[in-house]
Amino acid sequence: MPVYIARKLAFFLLAVLVASIAIFLLIRGAGGNVAAVILGKDATAEAINALAQQYGLDRPLFVQYFDWIGNLLQGDLGRSFRTNEPVTDLVVSRLSISIPLCVSGLILGLVIAIPAGTYSALNSDKPLGAVIALLSQVGIAVPVFWAGILLSLLFGVRLGWLPTGGWTNWDVSLWGAVRSLVLPVISLGLILGASLTRYVRSAVLDVMNQDYVRTARATGMTRMQALLQVGLRNAALPIATVVGLQIAELIGGTVIIETVFSLPGLSRMILANVAAREVIVVQSTVMLIIIFVMFINLIVDLLYGVLDPRVRLAR
């Protein structure tokens, strides 16, 4: 197990390193002269040079890279060019919206997908099993923002039960904050749940066709017993992998759903800064998100090792 953990940890660090270089080059390489981009088309050469000098943008790229990554490791994400606000402050204030949204969406997705997928795998020839498979197929085709629009149309406009958008901060009203998150979380969770249902279904179908399940059945277990005692533990592995991969998708969904419901979360902050060409803010925030996703994947990999002795003992 220690070797397994060390390998996964080494890969995590390598992945973060590669991703940081890629993001840096993508932004600096594709963006051209950053100072010129920030100041816009009408800026004079002097102004551009002055800004470049002030922020060290005139130094060689690799010096800037190590400067950025060194500061990042110490928790300093840089400052906004326009407002001079530290990026860390910008990010932290938004996390109290984005993290609950993202995590509750994921939990709701799993709460929908695991029972629904298992049921439809075990009852694929019954009507309800087929209906679940069909619903999940349709759900996969629904864009998350359209789900958001429809839900807020129904519960916000027609029924008036919940706000159609906007945000009440946690310290103003706890209930208000929860109310403004309900529809966004349901939209995210439903759409994520639809695609996860498909994966759970195929993982369970796969497992139920394995020899060890047949052996378990042969010892006199019912299908349900075989599933619970032998099947689920084996199906958990591919499901965990898919959930890890879906985190990246989930973040994309969060970006969009924050816009649908005008929640001032992290992704709306990124969007505003993309529009304002705040290169450093975008670069650092995006890197943070990537590290977060990679970290979740690391956890999934380690979990894999815990769940399956074959994985942790291999090589």
| CA dist., res. 208 & res. 198, Å (int) | 15
Please report whether residue 3 would count as binding other proteins according to CB under 8 A. Answer: no
Q: Which is nearer to other proteins, 176 or 295 (CB)?
A: 295
List 83, 137, 215, 229, residue binding other proteins (CB under 8 A): 137
- Kindly report the number of other CB atoms within 10 A of residue 52's CB atom: 18
| CA dist., res. 192 & res. 201, Å (int) | 14
* Residues that contact other proteins, how many (by CB under 8 A): 60
Report residue 4 as tokens. 């397994």
Q: Which is nearer to other proteins, 101 or 247 (CB)?
A: 247
Q: Which is nearer to other proteins, 108 or 207 (CB)?
A: 207
Report residue 125 as tokens. 């020839």
Please report whether residue 205 would count as binding other proteins according to CB under 8 A. Answer: yes
List 100, 182, 277, 308, residue binding other proteins (CB under 8 A): 277
Vertex 246 angle, CA 103 and 211, to 5°: 115
Chain-centroid distance of CA 157 in Å reads 29
List 90, 110, 236, 256, residue binding other proteins (CB under 8 A): 256
List 190, 293, 304, 305, residue binding other proteins (CB under 8 A): 293
Q: Which amino acid is at 78?
A: G
Please report whether residue 213 would count as binding other proteins according to CB under 8 A. Answer: no
Query: Of 32, 63, 62, nearest to 48 (Cα)?
Result: 32
We find the least distance from the C-beta atom of residue 273 to other proteins, in angstroms, to be 8
List 108, 112, 122, 282, residue binding other proteins (CB under 8 A): 282
Please report whether residue 51 would count as binding other proteins according to CB under 8 A. Answer: no
**Structure letter (DSSP) for residue 79:** B
Please report whether residue 23 would count as binding other proteins according to CB under 8 A. Answer: yes
The three-state (H, E, C) secondary structure of 122-186, written as one string? HCCCCHHHHHHHHHHHHHHHCCHHHHHHHHHHHHHHHCCCCCCCCCCCCCCCHHHHHHHHHHHHH
Chain-centroid distance of CA 186 in Å reads 16
- Kindly report the number of other CB atoms within 10 A of residue 284's CB atom: 24
List 46, 125, 171, 211, residue binding other proteins (CB under 8 A): 125
List 50, 69, 142, 237, residue binding other proteins (CB under 8 A): 142
| CA dist., res. 237 & res. 204, Å (int) | 11
Pick the piece of the chain touching other proteins (CB under 8 A) from 13-21, 69-77, 173-181, 302-310.
13-21
Pick the piece of the chain touching other proteins (CB under 8 A) from 50-58, 104-112, 250-258, 306-314.
250-258
Residues that bind other proteins (CB under 8 A): 11, 14-15, 18-19, 22-23, 26-27, 30-31, 37, 125, 137-138, 140-146, 149-150, 152-153, 156-157, 164, 198, 202, 205-206, 209, 245, 247-249, 251-253, 255-256, 259-260, 270-271, 273-275, 277, 279, 282-283, 286, 289-290, 293-294, 297
